[in-house]
Amino acid sequence: MKQMLRRSALFVGLVALASSLGLAAEDSETAHYANQVCSTCHGVHGNSPSSAFPRLAGQTAPYLETQLRAFKDRSRGDPAAQAYMWGMASQLDEDKIKALAKYYAALPPAHGTAGPAARVAAGRALYEQGLPEEGVPACVACHGPNAEGNELYPRLAGQHAPYLVKQLAYFKALQRSNQPIMQLVGQKLSFEQMEAVAAYAASR
């Protein structure tokens, strides 16, 4: 019994030691906040293991900022945004939004995950050429040759494919309704085309 107590005391001591070492290694207040709050869903260093939560690592800073503002002012109002991010963003002030966007944009993005070859090939064609006869512009024009994103155009490379499909479906259903270009894209794509282009982007 005494021995057990002594062992518990030792364990507590070790925990305290580990934590003081860790705190010394902690780089900034923003990183600490991101680790303690955002990472519980978006994963350690912005690389969430679950497709329920988008990866944020390496996303463009201007896009991250606009999204956090859109959650805060509730203009991005799809169901998942309402259930999760409206609350999370409601108390973020402009300084914190900028700091978090900068923090995540600077983290190394996830590597692409290979998808089924035929689907990825079909997705690539759609990504690079769009659907001219339907009036769907080529994704590459805005999202970049490697789907790496640019300023307000988000990075799609390495993102969870099911998350990308879900967003396209939200655009189509006008649930994510603050972005006219993407609504047009969403309207014109079938579910299969969404899956194909998402598989391609996720594989980059």
Partner 1 sequence: MSVRTVLKRALALAAGLASALALMPAAQAVPSFARQTGMACEACHTIFPELTSFGRLFKLNGYVIDNLPQVKAVGSDNKESLLLNWLPPISMQFIGSFTKTKGALPDSGTAGGVAQNGSASFPEQASLFYAGRIAPKLGGFVQITYSSQSGKMAWDNTDIRYADQATVLGNSLIYGFTLNNNPTVQDVWNSTPAWTVPFDQRSSLAPVNISTQIESLSGAVAGVSAYTYWRNMVYGEVGVYRSAPSGVSNSSTGGNGPLDSSQGVNVLKNGAPYWRFAIEKQWDRTSLSVGTFGMLTDYHPAGLNAASGPTDRFRDVAFDTQFQYAGDDHLFSLQASYIKENFTLSATAPDDPIDGAGDLKTRRIGVSYYYQRRYGASLGYFSTTGSVNTHRYPGGIAVLGSASNTPDTSAATMELDFIPWQNVKLGLQYTKYYKVRGGTDNYDGAGRNASDNNTLYLFAWFAY
**In terms of Cα–Cα distance, which of 99, 88, 8, 98 is closest to 42?**
88
Closest to partner 1 by CB, 10 or 152? 10
The residue type found at 60 is T
Out of 5, 95, 133, 180, the residue judged to bind partner 1 by CB under 8 A: 5
Q: Which two tokens stand for residue 89?
A: 């963003």
- Cβ–Cβ under 8 Å, residues 156 and 164: yes
Out of 62, 75, 88, 193, the residue judged to bind partner 1 by CB under 8 A: 88
Out of 17, 181, 191, 192, the residue judged to bind ligand HEC by CB under 6 A: 181
Interface map 117-156 toward partner 1 (x if CB under 8 A): ----------------------------------------
- Cβ–Cβ under 8 Å, residues 78 and 170: yes
Burial of 20 by CB count in 10 Å (0-12 exposed, 13-18 middle, 19+ buried)? exposed
CA gap 31, 104 in Å, rounded: 9
Closest to ligand HEC by CB, 13 or 64? 64
Interface residue list for ligand HEC (CB under 6 A): 37-38, 40-42, 52-54, 56, 64, 66-68, 78, 80-81, 84-85, 88, 100, 130, 136-137, 139, 141-143, 152-154, 156, 164, 167-168, 178-179, 181-182, 185, 197
